[in-house]
Structure 1
Amino acid sequence: MSPVADERDRIRAAMDRILRGTPEHSNGALTIVALAVEAGAPRNALTQRHTDLKNEFYDKVRARGGTPDSERRLREQIRRLKELRAADAEELGQLKADVEALVGALHQATMENLHLRQQLADRHAVICALPTQAPLGK
């Protein structure tokens, strides 16, 4: 699809309207999507054909002291992901500690079982049965 002859002019006019706060065809967000809608052009016109205009738009937004909406959303997502990563790291640390404790308990039970089997094999050993406990939850 070939670009329309006045596409660059329409993008520049749309850029001016959005930056002035007087959008006519979009919600006026400081995003490439809103700029494309405002200009009546496909988004890929800015992301592929007119990347210089896309960069100019973002430069003007930053020069005004604003942060593009897309950047603000990404920063918020990064913040949430960092929080999740920290929570996961804490949980992983606890799980590792639990595994070590369980391995220790398993080793102890295995050694006790081995000892009992050796006593059982020795016919002269005295083995006392331990009282059984009722299953949990009853």
Structure 2
Amino acid sequence: MTPPISQKTEGALRSAMKRLLEGTSVHTDGRLTIANLAREAGVSRATANRATVVLGEFRAAEARFRSGSVAGLKARIRKLEAELRAARGGELAELRVTVKTLAQHIQILALEGEEQRRVIAVLEEQIARADPKVLPFRPPS
């Protein structure tokens, strides 16, 4: 039979387990493994493996964490997709306003162009009446 672990070791393993599960590990990369649990607690893997009660709790907590993190990730993905749809909707509305504004500007420019052509025609006519030789080049109408 393997000798039991001390209260101090059990406490160290429980503290290490808490840090690993909270994502605040100090001595490891934070992966939820028995080796990291032992390293985080500052005990050997053999000592950690003798702590069967703590290991059982760690494995159960790890399983809950993994299943919870999958569900949490799925919820986060749904939330991000909804935010993306909302952002897209806002961008589309903004784009529609921009297109409408551009169409109005184009219309104004077309009207201004027509007005300028009329003014040019009037000026050409006045020049031609004054002296037909002054306007040697006549642009096509």
TM-score normalised by length of structure 1? 0.45
TM-score normalised by length of structure 2? 0.44
The structure where helix makes up a greater share of residues is 2
